[in-house]
A and B are shown apart, each in its own frame.
Chain A
Amino acid sequence: MTVLDRPVTMPPLATGKRAERSLRAVMFQAVLLFALLVGLLTLLVLLVDVFRDGAGRLSGDFLSSLDSRFAARAGIKPALIGTLWLMGLVAAISFPIGVGAAVYLEEFAPKNKFTSFIEVNIANLAGVPSIVYGLLGLAAFVRFMHMGRTILAGALTLVLLILPVIIVSARESLRAVPDSIRHGAVAVGATTIQAVWHHTLPSAIPGIMTGMILGLSRAIGETAPLITMGALTYVNFVPAGPLDRFTAMPIQIFNWTSRPQSAFQEVAAAGILMLLGVLLVMNALAVFLRNKYERRW
């Protein structure tokens, strides 16, 4: 329900439309529509531009080759595998922590100063530039905890970066579950933990998954924090485990983009197509989950 929804039974309301035939009124609306279209058209131009540059470079070889100093031979395999490792770890680590934090804040947290301090922190962390998380990762994981510039350190950096997103959306999903569900469970003798585990969480899980995917799609495109914590930009090996050094798709794209030979722009565009493709699939999945499993109470 939004504020603008009107009850169906109301008589037609004044809409101000009748007096809008004057030139100024039409111009006003045209200017607004133009403002809206600029954003949409830019996206279209961007997609067409990238597609035109990069589509010719997409091939099986591109997927299965290592990076190279020669544009014709450069492939995205190390970056793709690096990104898969990163995303797997980020998902595995951020899901329990994010959902745990959301459950705590939504279901158990007492209304006190400590709780509101955590909430203020979440709001502020969401506004911290991603490159600052990179500095945190460099100082805390790479140096202080001696993880080195590994996939694990990169994943932990990204986990901290997307936690606010995941917590906020998980809280919203939990809040949307009506109290009658909780009361029903508690009334037949469940403890509050049992009520959460068997009833509230299962009801909220589609929304939580949607938020999770959106968080991951933010993480998958992040470049700056990974460069700052020290991921490699030229990698000619495929990482085999979380303690290997690595590169990721956006870093690889950045690396190709910043090479002087123009042939590498096409390689970069092909990489971008791959990245956008993965993002598109993730977003489609999020929309699908939302539409298929979301319950209205």
Chain B
Amino acid sequence: MAVPEDAVSLTRKRSRAGESAIKAALLFCASVVLATTLGIVASLAFEAIEFFRAVPFKEFLTGSSWAPTFKPARFGVLPLVSATFVITIIGAIIAFPLGLGAAIYLSEFAGDRVRKTVKPILEILAGVPTVVLGYFALTFITPTILQTIVPGTKVFNALAAGVAVGIMIIPMVASISEDAMRAVPHSLRQGAFAMGATRRTVAAKVVVPAALSGIAAAFILALSRAIGETMIVTIAAGQIPNLSGDVREPMQTMTAYIVQVSLGDTPAGSIAYKTIFALGTTLFLITLGLNILSHRIVRRFREKYE
């Protein structure tokens, strides 16, 4: 909007006494966000640097054995990282097709009534605390489903945790991809329908490709959520560092190890205390990288129609 140079400002020039103090207070509130970021980075970095003074960086990244309490202690993070990724991948295998399918159905096929009923239910599923999903994985998914169809499944196993993590991220995948698909202008669909396309063709050849950046962002954000998930994996996947990759076996993820240490008494300055901050830093960097990636994808590859 072009403002003429001699326009009178509608804002009063003089403010009442104390208003600048109010504005300063509001600015302070907004700055809490910056302080939070700063606090996270500072507290993670401080203890992580202490950790890497004691443990060589190379051993942390490439060592294949995680046993910080043994003598000699071993600090190879690979078993924990591999467990995190195995469980995340299982979750993705479950949630990506189901979430995307649900999103396509809601956006392209469902009537308003169905959508208005289903979306709140998905929100409820998204709001189920993860400790509840962990309980569900341990007391239902493992004994009732997995141990009957996958022979050799242990009480604590990566598969059940992965399935539960998948269930957790379905609503997220569905809702972000659906938003992306609904943002595709209707004229595109009309063009295809006018040429005799079915809704299936329109969904698969027009809407999904047009919304691809949003769908990719949904997938990446869901991955990031799954990597940081803690209670499901702690309850259902067990507490044994395990590099075998056998999903029927217990596996300890990075987050589960942090919980295990936190449940015991961790005197500040002990190596266990520093270790959880090193793992926290690893988690923080991975999830931050994924989040930035998803924002980049949306910004760079978004098809702009209007």
Q: Which residues of A contact B (CB under 8 A)?
A: 2-4, 6, 13-17, 19-20, 24-25, 28-29, 31-36, 38-40, 42-43, 45-46, 49-50, 53, 96-101, 103-105, 108-109, 117-118, 121-125, 127-136, 138-140, 143-144, 160, 163-164, 167, 183, 186-187, 189-194, 217-218, 220-224, 227-228, 230, 233, 250, 253-254, 257-258, 265, 268-269, 272, 275-276, 279, 283, 287
Contact = CB atoms under 8 A, between A and B. Distances in A.
B49 interface: no
A186 B182 contact: no
Given A125-B37, A254-B134, A275-B129, A135 B258 contact: yes
A227 B263 CA distance: 7
Contacts of A24: 200
Interface in B104-144: 104-106, 109-110, 118, 120-125, 127-136, 138-140
A99 B192 CA distance: 45
A276 to B, nearest CB: 7
Contact of B10 (A35, A183, A233): A183
Interface in B240-282: 255, 258-259, 262-263, 266, 268, 276-277, 280
Interface in B76-97: 97
Nearest to A144: B43
Contacts of B227: 129
B16 interface: yes
Given A32-B104, A124-B292, A223-B131, A135 B280 contact: yes
B33 A164 contact: yes
Given A35-B98, A38-B98, A135-B43, A104 B127 contact: no
A250 B230 CA distance: 13
Interface string B37-77: 10110011011000000000000000000000000000000
Interface of B is mostly: helix
B117 to A, nearest CB: 10
Nearest to B291: A127
Contacts of A287: 120
Interface residues of B, number: 105
